[in-house]
C-alpha cells in the first residue's frame, strides 16, 4: 500500500494561529453544518431520510460505512475477481502516478498548472468502471487519473504532462487537457463548469443519434454555484438526456471551503429543483460509488433519465502544485486520511477473502513499474516539432 500522502511540509500549512482556531471550531461543529458530530450520528442512525445526506463528518461517514460493510462484503464475494483486481489496480496506479507527478513537477519536468487527484481515486474508479467502453466521459482539469481509467496509457498521460510529442494530444494540451476521441474521453477542461454544458450536449447528441451511450459528466462542488449547472440540469431533465452528473465534492474550490461559499450544504438535493433523481454518496467507498453509478446508468439506459450524484471525498493535496495550502489544518487532512479509499477497499477485499497482503504488494509493484515506464517514455519523447505549431489549432 502506498504511503498516505499529504503530510509533506511543502503542501501543508506550516504555522498560523488562525489555523489553530479553525481546528478548534471543526472539533465542535461538524463541517459547517452547525451540528455536533454526535447529533449527526444520531440523526443518521434514526432518520432514514437523513441517511447518506449528512455524513459530512468523518466519524459519521465511518459509522455509516460500517453499517453497510457486511452486505458489501457479501456483494464483493459475488463479483468477478478480475474486475475487483482491476479496480484496486487503477486506484493504486492513480495514487502512485500522481505522487510521481508531484515529484517530477518539483524537478521542473512538468510546467504550468498541475492538479492532482490524490484522495479522490474511488470516485473515478467506482463510477467509470461501471460504464461500457462506448460510454462517454467529460471532466474538469483534475483529469490525469480519469484518463487512465478510461483506457489511456500512463505513458500517453505522462508525456502529455511533459508537453512531449508522445502525449495523448501531442504535447499541446498539457495537464488540463487529456483527450481521446477513440476512448470516448472528451477532456480535460480548464473553465470551471464549462464541461457541464458540453457534457449535456454530448448526452443530447447520443439521444438524437440513438447511440445508446451514457455520458458521465464530472465537475467540482465549486462549479455548482454557476448558472451553467442549473441550466444544464433543467434541460437534461426536461429532455430526458442520458447524462450522469457527478459532482466530485472534495470540499474545496481552490482555497475556499464549501461551507464558506455555498448557502446550502447538500448539492445532491439541488437536483430536486428540477425533479431529477439524485444521490449523496460516500466518495471514500469505491463500492458505494459503483452501486450508485450502476443505479444511475440503469435509469439512463431505460428512458434516458439523468441523475445527479454528489460524491464526497477530500482533496489531500493543494488545489494545484503551486498551492501552499495555508487555509486548512494538518489535523483536518490527517482526519480525512483515516478513511483513505485505498485502505478501506483493501480491508474489504481482505475481509471477503478475495485478496491477501501479498496480492496487494504485487499490485503495488505492478503500478510502480507502470509509472516508471511512463516517466522513461516521457523523458525520451521529443518535444513537438515547430512545424506542428499550427496543426489542430482552430480559430
When the beta carbons of 150 and 364 are compared against ligand TPP, the nearer one is: 150
- Binding status of residue 279 toward ligand TPP by CB under 6 A: no
- Binding status of residue 64 toward ligand TPP by CB under 6 A: no
CB of residue 368 to ligand TPP, shortest distance in Å: 26
- Binding status of residue 250 toward ligand TPP by CB under 6 A: yes
DSSP string, 68-118: HHHHHHHHHHHS-HHHHHHHHHHHHHHHHHHHHHHHHHHTTSS-S-----T
CB of residue 304 to Mg ion, shortest distance in Å: 28
CB of residue 222 to Mg ion, shortest distance in Å: 5
Binding mask 325-364 for ligand TPP (x = CB under 6 A): ----------------------------------------
- State how far Cα 375 lies from the chain centre: 23
Among 221, 279, 285, 310, binds ligand TPP (CB under 6 A): 221
* Max Cα-Cα span within the chain: 66
Residue 229 has φ and ψ, to the nearest 5°, of: -60, -50
Instruction: Tell me if 249 sits within 8 A of 221, measured CB to CB.
Output: yes
Instruction: Tell me if 216 sits within 8 A of 138, measured CB to CB.
Output: yes
- Binding status of residue 191 toward ligand TPP by CB under 6 A: yes
Among 105, 162, 252, 316, binds ligand TPP (CB under 6 A): 252
Stretch of 25-33, 50-58, 93-101, 186-194 lying at the interface with ligand TPP (CB under 6 A) = 186-194
Rounded-to-5 percentages of helix, strand, coil across the chain: 50, 10, 40
Distance CA 285, CA 288 (A): 5
Enumerate binding residues for Mg ion (CB under 5 A): 220-221, 250, 253
When the beta carbons of 35 and 251 are compared against ligand TPP, the nearer one is: 251
190 binds, among ligand TPP, Mg ion, none (CB under 5 to 8 A by kind): ligand TPP
Distance CA 267, CA 279 (A): 9
- Binding status of residue 142 toward ligand TPP by CB under 6 A: yes
- Binding status of residue 100 toward ligand TPP by CB under 6 A: no
Among 6, 166, 174, 253, binds ligand TPP (CB under 6 A): 253
Distance CA 138, CA 140 (A): 7
124 binds, among ligand TPP, Mg ion, none (CB under 5 to 8 A by kind): none
Closest residue to ligand TPP, Cβ-based?
220
Question: Is the Cα torsion angle 390, 154, 135, 275 positive or negative in sign?
Answer: negative
Instruction: Tell me if 13 sits within 8 A of 6, measured CB to CB.
Output: no
Distance CA 29, CA 257 (A): 14
- Binding status of residue 144 toward ligand TPP by CB under 6 A: no
Question: Is the Cα torsion angle 368, 316, 66, 262 positive or negative in sign?
Answer: negative
Site size for ligand TPP (CB under 6 A)? 15
What residues make contact with ligand TPP under the rule CB under 6 A? Answer: 140, 142, 190-192, 220-223, 250, 252-254, 315, 319
Amino acid at each position: 500500500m502506498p504511503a498516505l500522502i499529504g503530510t509533506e511540509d511543502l503542501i501543508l500549512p506550516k504555522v498560523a494561529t488562525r489555523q489553530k482556531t479553525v481546528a478548534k471550531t471543526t472539533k465542535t461543529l461538524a463541517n459547517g453544518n452547525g451540528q455536533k458530530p454526535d447529533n449527526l450520528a444520531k440523526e443518521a442512525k434514526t432518520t432514514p431520510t437523513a441517511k447518506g445526506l449528512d455524513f459530512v463528518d468523518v466519524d459519521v461517514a465511518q459509522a455509516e460505512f460500517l453499517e453497510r460493510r457486511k452486505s458489501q462484503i457479501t456483494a464483493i464475494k459475488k463479483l468477478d475477481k478480475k474486475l475487483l483486481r482491476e479496480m484496486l489496480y487503477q486506484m493504486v496506479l492513480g495514487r502512485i502516478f500522481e505522487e510521481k507527478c508531484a515529484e517530477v513537477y518539483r524537478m521542473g519536468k512538468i510546467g504550468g498548472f498541475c492538479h492532482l487527484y490524490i484522495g479522490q481515486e474511488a470516485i473515478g474508479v467506482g463510477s467509470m468502471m461501471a460504464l461500457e467502453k462506448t460510454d462517454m466521459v467529460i471532466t474538469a482539469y483534475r483529469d490525469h487519473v480519469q484518463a487512465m481509467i478510461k483506457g489511456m496509457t500512463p505513458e500517453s498521460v505522462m508525456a502529455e504532462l511533459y508537453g512531449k510529442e508522445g502525449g495523448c494530444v501531442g504535447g499541446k494540451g498539457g495537464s488540463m487537457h487529456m483527450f481521446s476521441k477513440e476512448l470516448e474521453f472528451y477532456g480535460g477542461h480548464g473553465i470551471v463548469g464549462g464541461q457541464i454544458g458540453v457534457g449535456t450536449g454530448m448526452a443530447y447528441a447520443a439521444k438524437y443519434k440513438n447511440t445508446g451511450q451514457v455520458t458521465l459528466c464530472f465537475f467540482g462542488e465549486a462549479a455548482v454555484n454557476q448558472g451553467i449547472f442549473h441550466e444544464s440540469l433543467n434541460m437534461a431533465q426536461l429532455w430526458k438526456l442520458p447524462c450522469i452528473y457527478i459532482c466530485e465534492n472534495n470540499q474545496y474550490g481552490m482555497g475556499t471551503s464549501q461551507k464558506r461559499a455555498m448557502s446550502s450544504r447538500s448539492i445532491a438535493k439541488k437536483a430536486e429543483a428540477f425533479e431529477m433523481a439524485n444521490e449523496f454518496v460516500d466518495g471514500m467507498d469505491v463500492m458505494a460509488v459503483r452501486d450508485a453509478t450502476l443505479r444511475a446508468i440503469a435509469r439512463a439506459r431505460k428512458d434516458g433519465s439523468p441523475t445527479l450524484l454528489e460524491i464526497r471525498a477530500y482533496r489531500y493535496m493543494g488545489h494545484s502544485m503551486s498551492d501552499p495550502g495555508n487555509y486548512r489544518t494538518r489535523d483536518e487532512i490527517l482526519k480525512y486520511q483515516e478513511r483513505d479509499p485505498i485502505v478501506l477497499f483493501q480491508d474489504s477485499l481482505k475481509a471477503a477473502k478475495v485478496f491477501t497482503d501479498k496480492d496487494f504488494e504485487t499490485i503495488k509493484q505492478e503500478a510502480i513499474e507502470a509509472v516508471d515506464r511512463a516517466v522513461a517514455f516521457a523523458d525520451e519523447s521529443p518535444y513537438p516539432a515547430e512545424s506542428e505549431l499550427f496543426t489542430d489549432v482552430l480559430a
